Amino acid sequence: MEHAVSRRRRPVTAGSPAGDSRRRPCPCGSGKRYKNCHGSATDVLVARPFAGRVDECDWVALRELVPAATAPLRMADPAHAGRSVLLATVLPVALPAIVRADGTILVGLQVPVRSGDVSRDIGRALQRALDAEPGTMLSSAELPGAGPRIQELLDPAPLEITVRQDFGFWMDDPELAGAEVQASLERANAAALPTERLASVDAAYWIDAGERAHLRWVLPQEEDAVLDALARLSAVGELGLGQRTRYAGSFRTHGLMAPVWDLPPDVPATEWEAPAKEFAGRLAEALADPAPLTDRQRRARDGIRSRQLTLR
């Protein structure tokens, strides 16, 4: 993502006045006017849909940055404590949820946005799956009304993530062995890149893109604080992760910032555990620095901001 162009748009949140600005393009990136999309009275764009979860950064990473991964979900309601629920980055043909013949529920995270609140969309899909019969493949519903979000439906314990190298787990259910699912599986496997989750820091994922590897790391702090901290590190030459590495830019998504580094492809993921942990220490010190940015640091910040890419 070299020299990505920043597309900074102010997200609409609950209580934001619409006024004459309802004719502007919707900040969700749909191409529609705001008044015809998230500017309706029934829908609001939630800037940080996973806020309140201790694993917010991992939810963002699985939603936007990680090709294939799963995590078991534990329901908060004791009435559903016995249900087996599995979160997956992607399901066949981008379905929001599947109820297997044995009653196991699969919930997809990388699905088309139906409302301005991704958490509500996923919560609605999970609620529908809990009420559905075994063997049901749920299609995308219309814009959901008021309903539970994942923060209300799920146990607050952090996700136990399994990064997968393909989507073969789809085929654990014989009912998914049809031609359409098989074609979807082949497309998904072709697009999946080798991925590993680092253990030394939270929500950091090593991805082998072929000619280069990358580290994509979702950070929990507010964007402005992260930009200032990265600028301080850049100004003193401490923005990299070691030899043959380069800070490539960052993604802005779901209210958080995910820096990306280019890494040499011949160095395995395990070798980046220590450099990532060391960088986390430097970043923490930079985040805690209360001093105003110097001219050099402000120039570094401008350069870092110019390499941001907003994901919708």
Taking phi first (over 0 means left), then psi (-120 to 50 degrees means alpha), and beta for anything else, what does residue 300 get? alpha
Residues 87, 62 contacting (CB under 8 angstroms): yes
For residue 51, being part of any structural domain is answered with no
Are 206 and 225 in the same domain? yes
Cα 25–27–29 angle (5° rounding)?
A: 85
Are 215 and 304 in the same domain? yes
Q: Is 169 helix (H, G, I), strand (E, B) or coil?
A: helix
- Domain extent, residue 111, equals 56-191
Q: Is 207 helix (H, G, I), strand (E, B) or coil?
A: strand
Are 93 and 163 in the same domain? yes
* CA 136 to chain CA mean position, Å: 26
Helix, strand, coil % in the chain, rounded to nearest 5? 35, 20, 50
Are 37 and 63 in the same domain? no
| CA-based nearest residue to 287, from 203, 228, 216 | 228
pLDDT at 220: 98
CATH code, domain carrying 222: 3.30.1460
| CA-based nearest residue to 135, from 97, 191, 94, 186 | 97
pLDDT in tens, the chain (312 residues): 443 333 333 343 433 334 445 566 665 555 666 555 545 545 688 999 999 999 999 999 999 999 999 999 999 999 998 899 999 999 998 899 999 999 999 999 999 877 889 999 999 999 999 999 999 999 876 555 667 999 999 999 999 999 999 998 887 766 666 777 788 888 999 989 999 999 999 999 999 999 999 999 999 999 999 999 999 999 999 999 999 999 999 999 999 999 999 999 999 999 999 999 999 999 999 999 999 999 999 999 999 999 999 997
Cα 40–46–51 angle (5° rounding)?
A: 160
Are 36 and 90 in the same domain? no
Q: Measured between alpha carbons, how far is 168 from 172 in angstroms, rounded to an integer?
A: 8
For residue 226, being part of any structural domain is answered with yes
Q: Measured between alpha carbons, how far is 249 from 258 in angstroms, rounded to an integer?
A: 9
Are 225 and 299 in the same domain? yes
DSSP 8-state class, residue 158: P
User: Hey, what are 168's tokens?
Assistant: 């073969």
Are 96 and 147 in the same domain? yes
Task: Give the pTM.
Answer: 0.85
Are 213 and 281 in the same domain? yes
For residue 173, being part of any structural domain is answered with yes
| Residue after which a domain boundary falls, among 191, 217, 237 | 191
Q: Measured between alpha carbons, how far is 188 from 124 in angstroms, rounded to an integer?
A: 25
Q: Is the dihedral of CA 113, 107, 74, 103 positive or negative?
A: positive
Are 156 and 204 in the same domain? no
Are 132 and 176 in the same domain? yes
